[in-house]
Amino acid sequence: MALTLTLGGGGTNQHWDDLARYLSAYSKKGKKVHLSAAPQCPFPDAWIGEALQKGLFDYVWVQFYNNPPFQYSSGMTNLEAAWKQWTSIKASQIFLGLPASSSAAGSGLIPTNDLTLQVLPAIKGSTKYGGVMLWDKYHDQSGYSSSIKNKV
pTM assigned to the model: 0.89
pLDDT digits (tens, 9 = 90+) for 15-43: 777 887 888 888 877 788 888 999 999 99
Phi first, then psi: what are they for 59, rounded to 5°? -130, 135
CA 24, 14, 48, 51 torsion-angle sign: negative
Output 134 or 19, whichever has higher pLDDT.
Answer: 134
The set of residues, in sequence order, having a beta carbon less than 8 Å from that of 111 and lying 6+ positions away, is none
Domains and CATH numbers, the chain: 2-7+16-148 (3.20.20.80)
Rounded mean pLDDT of the chain? 89
- What is the band of 123 on the pLDDT scale with cuts at 50, 70, 90? very high
Output 118 or 20, whichever has higher pLDDT.
Answer: 118
- What is the band of 74 on the pLDDT scale with cuts at 50, 70, 90? confident
